[in-house]
Structure 1
Amino acid sequence: MSQTTAAAVQPQAPATPGAYHYILTLQASLGSGFQVFTTEGTHTPAVGWTRADFYKAIRDGIVRQHPELARANTIFFDLQPNRL
């Protein structure tokens, strides 16, 4: 008689904050038209960061590189854990 042994299922470790994926789109009125700027990427925030802190850090980084977007309107922002 053969005997089958079920493998023990190991519980997964609790999820850590880990990396987040973001997309931010800004629109600015420049002269006679508009400029739309979209950025995306991943970032692991410092412990204690809020969604607002994350947004501000991304936006401030864009404005440092593109000062003309300092008064731009946010038309899209998404922040999700970077996992499937």
Structure 2
Amino acid sequence: MPDFANAGGFGGIGFTPIEIGVPPGSLLVRYTDGLIEARGRDLDEWLAELTQLLADPQRQLGHLCDSLITHLVPAAAEDDVALLIARIGGVP
């Protein structure tokens, strides 16, 4: 494994890569803060809502993305929103 911690290729900021095991079928969800943060909203409540919406990992990813955007993003969002969901598959 390359030594990224000392590579300096990321603006001189070192980091230590780690490996974690996740079962096949798990979801990797990446999003910008615009999905869950807005004035007048409690962040903990929206994180709980996000977690609840992600509780069924077997849903089709397109439907899951649509559901998250519909439930969490107001019609006139104050910030940009980006969302990426990937299903982790097993190693062939």
Query: Could you tell me the TM-score, scaled by structure 2's length?
Result: 0.33
Name which one, 1 or 2, has greater alpha-carbon Rg.
Answer: 1
Structure (1 or 2) with the greater strand fraction: 1
Query: Could you tell me the TM-score, scaled by structure 1's length?
Result: 0.35
